[in-house]
Structure 1
Amino acid sequence: MKQTKNQPDIAAILNGDTQEFSVLVDQYKDLVFTVAIRTLKNREEAEEVAQDTFIKVFKSLKNFKGDAKLSSWIYRIAYNTCLDRVKKHKKELKNMPIDEVRSEAVMEMGNALDGMVMQERAATIKRCIQQLSPVDAALLTLFYFEEKDLKEMAKALNLSPNTAKVKLFRARNRLGAILKNQLEPETIQSYGQG
């Protein structure tokens, strides 16, 4: 397991160094909370899930092999903890008498599920964007994730607006081809399992 400069000392944490674990929490608390709030759409729930996530991280840190980024590993734990919370709420709603189900609770579940779908789409797009050239990746990131307009993108990348428009069009086509290649095998595989 390689250790980078920015990464907390995992060996020290495993040996009981609580200060080093505090460094890890400080470094990743924003990431975890962002995942939780976007998925659950409720601050109190997100705070609870963030705490649960770091408990899970601490308990399973010995299983971290270092073959993925620590941030990706923690992100996955946070995301799965959010999914567990959503499933728990769904089960509670099923067991609740129909006259006690508030319309707000139903809306919260819908928002959480919509958030998860959007998050999965964003994660897939980000993975595919990483396969593109740096300029294409930058254009698509600015367009989709930072919601910049053509003038802002052109200025950020030192291009003319027309050049940015053409490059964005081509980058979107390349991204579409990568997404198609990536999603078709997954779709075919999921139908094969059914």
Structure 2
Amino acid sequence: MSVYEEDLILLQQLKAGTPEAFTAFYEKYRRYLMIVAASILEDEMEAQDLVQDFFVDFWERQLYMRIDPGQSKSEDVVIKGYVHKVVYNRCMDRLTARKAKQKRIAHMPVQDEACAPEIRMEIAEWQQQLSWSLKTAIAQIPPLSARVFELSYIQRKSRIEVAMEMGVSPNTVKNQLLRAMKILRHHLKKG
């Protein structure tokens, strides 16, 4: 069976909403898309986040419904051409945002490296207080949300990896992360 025929079958299964098709799609294209994103962004962690977000959007927003095999210029790139274009465009958007951020940072006043010892002490106290506040806030998160938060932000695992490890859907991971972040924001604002 050719790659084109495999992709047509995979696309039909995706459009039928088969979760196994998404798993096959993820396994087939994850590495390729990581290489594309990492080569453009030149930052592996940022590329991983971008590709993860793409896979979550691809499934949740049913982006596969936009793929039309009749529109493909080459039989070899039914799905590959579409996903490459989407990830490439998202990378370009990130680069544009990164440049804008660097420009804003460049115009910020520079802190004096040789600041007074009492100011350094204040900064150290503030950092210690912030660390304590963050630990206290994390303790307020329900266990499932806390576990998802830990895997995502502390262990730096992607949403798909967290979902697979915990045996839940990527949407559940996303919802639990949102819940955890909401609780953290609320608790840190009070403190």
TM-score by length of 1: 0.45
TM-score by length of 2: 0.46
Structure number with bigger Rg: 2
